[in-house]
Amino acid sequence: MRTQLEIIGLRFNDFESKVCVMANVIKNNLSYWTTIFIEMHDLNKLINHLQRNNPGLDLYDRMQCTNFGEYTEYELELGQDVNANHTLEDLYGSEKQIKLIRA
């Protein structure tokens, strides 16, 4: 079975090049909460996947923006009404190797 991600939320700012993805990782009977950092250029791909799975939903309306003077912090929390299940290949692409650390 492929590893599934149930995305809970995203957090990023316009000062850094990483996006924090908060998600539940599900594989077979194992499920755990984690944060994954993706590159900023992969954010569009992820938002496109979310929009494709939820055509009637505008994700930009759910985004919270906080201005801190020098930068703006963006946070998107996905509710129970959003289909946010993806594979790791959706998030990273099939050409990248992903290592998950479980403790």
Q: Does residue 103 lie in a domain region? A: no
Amino acid, single-letter form, for residue 95:
E
Domain carrying residue 62: 4-92
Q: Does residue 102 lie in a domain region? A: no
The pLDDT of residue 29 is 86
Q: Does residue 101 lie in a domain region? A: no
Spatial distance between the Cα atoms of 100 and 84, rounded to a whole number of angstroms: 19
Q: Does residue 100 lie in a domain region? A: no
Structural domains of the chain, count: 1
CB neighbours of residue 15 within 10 Å: 10
What pTM does this model have?
0.77
Q: What is the pLDDT of residues 4-26, one digit of tens each?
A: 888 889 999 988 889 998 988 88
The pLDDT of residue 3 is 78
Spatial distance between the Cα atoms of 18 and 43, rounded to a whole number of angstroms: 9
Q: What is the pLDDT of residues 33-67, one digit of tens each?
A: 888 888 888 888 888 888 888 888 888 888 899 99
DSSP letters for 54-102: -TT--HHHHEEEEE-SS-EEEEEE--TTS--EEEHHHHH-TTS------
Q: Does residue 86 lie in a domain region? A: yes
The pLDDT of residue 50 is 85
